[in-house]
Amino acid sequence: MNRIRTAVIGTGFMGRVHLEALRRVESVDVVEIAATSRDKAIAAAAGFNVLNATGDWREVINDPSIDAVHVATPNASHYEITKAALTAGKHVLCEKPLAMSVAEAQELTDLVASKNLRGGLNHNLRYYPMVQQMRSMREAGAFGEILVVQGTYSQDWMLYESDWNWRVDPKVSGPSRVMADIGSHFFDMAEHVSGLKVTEVCSDLQIFCPTRKQPKGGGESFSGKLGSAGETVDTKVVTEDFGATLFRMGKARGTMTASQVSAGRKNGLVMEIYGTKGGACWRQERPEELWLGHRDAPNQILLKDPSLLDEKARGFADYPGGHAEGYPDTFKQLFRRFYASIADPSLTADYPQMADGLRQMKILDAELASHKSRAWVSVPA
């Protein structure tokens, strides 16, 4: 089989996670890393045994020997890099959110559709084995007709006014923080698991830290929790620390909150679905467990074990029961499927795509409009 030559752009939190996961995809060679400086790229390349390093992502785009590109930079550059890569004929696996606006996301979705290329969007959280089990059980009718979808995505890493990250700057992150950053994962999973589409939203957003202490030297994701940021400047905050959305999925109803100021919650995505026959609840902080709720029998906790999973979900669990699979494994599962679809163009893409990124931008746009108008807003199909 021809090996696929790929490059990773961005060497922060996600750049490193992508590089690790790519080592677990048998058909792929990472041949170049791009960072904001050549020195930074060289350091990352040395750590991951990658031959080429550049301080300019355009060199990756201009290299005709590179087949695919991973975009793991902050949000504002996703559109430009993804567009350039697709135009140059490269497959793209882009981090979420796909772009800064619906218009940009639409353009990228149209562009990838017009080319014979693959465009993946990294809503990796779908690929925890027990999330796939919940989906498979719903598809098999175990929960009956879905009535209620509810949950949260709660974190605490932005609780203090001394907490800072590029996500606070709307020029880098976009017009929303928590709803775009983590609310988008919630809605991607909610639609993926329930099989329903969000049709209308009613949102309320809140800024609890109106001013934050921005480090003059910047700082990568979560680094503020590890120590002093050095010299800082007081900066006005314009994007939300917390958001709540009531939503409708046709007849089904739902609620979600997204928060980066919930003390003690580290990466607390909780997804609950309730139907006419039963319910289920999955928690990212205890990813190997799926709670199954029954009206007329004792509730159950199903522990991840391939032998106990539905056949459809089993393909997402590579290790035996009791051998935990977590966050890094979700990237491996998504990337394997992405590269399998490049190796075999006849395969139907079974991973989140740019159209799913566009979908999240539409939901986000409706949430922002709803908060502003204090009214329900429809989400276009």
Q: Please give the residue ranges that form the binding site for ligand NAI (CB under 6 A).
A: 9-15, 34-36, 57, 72-75, 77, 95-96, 122, 124, 166, 181, 220-221
194, exposed or middle or buried, with CB in 10 Å at 0-12, 13-18, 19+?
A: buried
Q: Where are the alpha helices (DSSP H) in 118-265?
A: 129-139, 170-173, 178, 184-194
What distance lies between CA 343 and its chain's CA centroid? 24
CB of 181 to ligand NAI, least distance (A): 6
In terms of CB distance, is 35 or 379 closer to ligand NAI? Answer: 35
> Which residue number has the CB closest to ligand SOE?
181
11 touches, from ligand SOE, ligand NAI, none (C-beta below 5 to 8 Å by class): ligand NAI
| Partner from ligand SOE, ligand NAI, none binding residue 10, C-beta < 5-8 Å depending on class | ligand NAI
- Which lies closer to ligand SOE via its Cβ, residue 60 or residue 261? 261
**Least CB distance to ligand NAI at residue 101 (A):** 15
Nearer to ligand NAI, 188 or 272 (CB): 188
Q: Which does 93 bind (CB under 5 to 8 A by kind): ligand NAI, ligand SOE, none?
A: none
Whole-Å CA distances, 177 to 12, 125, 206, 292: 18, 18, 11, 32
Q: Which two tokens stand for residue 339?
A: 């590269």
Q: Hey, is 49 helix, strand or coil?
A: coil
Among 133, 136, 155, 176, binds ligand SOE (CB under 6 A): 155
Helix residue ranges, H only, 13-128: 13-22, 38-47, 57-61, 78-87, 102-114
Which of 16, 267, 349, 378 contacts ligand SOE by CB under 6 A? 267
The item of ligand NAI, ligand SOE, none sharing an interface with residue 122, based on CB under 5 to 8 Å by kind, is ligand NAI
Distance, CA of 162 to CA of 158 (rounded, Å)? 8
CA 289, 295, 299: angle at the middle one, nearest 5? Answer: 25
Choose from ligand NAI, ligand SOE, none: what does 74 bind? Cβ within 5-8 Å by kind.
ligand NAI
Number of H helices, E strands in the chain: 12, 17
Which among ligand NAI, ligand SOE, none contacts residue 117 (Cβ within 5 to 8 A by kind)?
none
Identify what 267 binds: ligand NAI, ligand SOE, none; CB under 5 to 8 Å per kind: ligand SOE
- The verdict on 257 binding ligand SOE (CB under 6 A) reads no
Give the shortest CB-190-to-ligand NAI separation in angstroms. Answer: 16
Q: Which of 126, 133, 237, 129 lies closest to 184, judged by CA?
A: 126
**Residue with the closest Cβ to ligand NAI?**
12
DSSP string, 230-277: -SEEEEE--S-SEEEEEEEETTEEEEEEEES--TT-SSEEEEEEEESS
Q: Are 210 and 168 in contact (CB under 8 A)?
A: no
Backbone angles phi, psi at 350, to 5 degrees: -115, 55
Collapsing DSSP to helix, strand or coil, 37 comes out as coil
Q: Which is nearer to ligand NAI, 275 or 352 (CB)?
A: 352
Which residues from 212-241 bind ligand SOE, rule CB under 6 A? 221
Contact of residue 182 among ligand SOE, ligand NAI, none (CB under 5-8 Å per partner type): ligand SOE
Q: Which of residues 16-55 bind ligand SOE (CB under 6 A)?
A: none
Q: Which listed option, ligand NAI, ligand SOE, none, makes contact with residue 54 (CB within 5 to 8 Å by class)? A: none
Cβ–Cβ < 8 Å for 367, 203: yes
Q: Write down the least CB distance from residue 242 to ligand NAI, Å.
A: 18
Closest by CA position to 245, among listed 122, 168, 149: 149
- CB of residue 141 to ligand NAI, shortest distance in Å: 31
SS3 56: coil
Kindly state the number of chain residues that form the binding site for ligand SOE, as judged by CB under 6 A: 6
Neighbours of 113 (CB within 10 A): 13
To the nearest whole angstrom, how small is the minimum distance from the Cβ of residue 262 to ligand SOE? Answer: 12
State which residue, 12 or 129, has the beta carbon closest to ligand NAI.
Answer: 12
Q: Say how far apart CA 361 and CA 364 lie, in whole Å.
A: 5
Looking only at residues 158 through 187 of this chain, which bind ligand SOE when binding is defined by CB under 6 A? 181-182, 185
Contact residues for ligand SOE, defined by CB under 6 A? 155, 181-182, 185, 221, 267
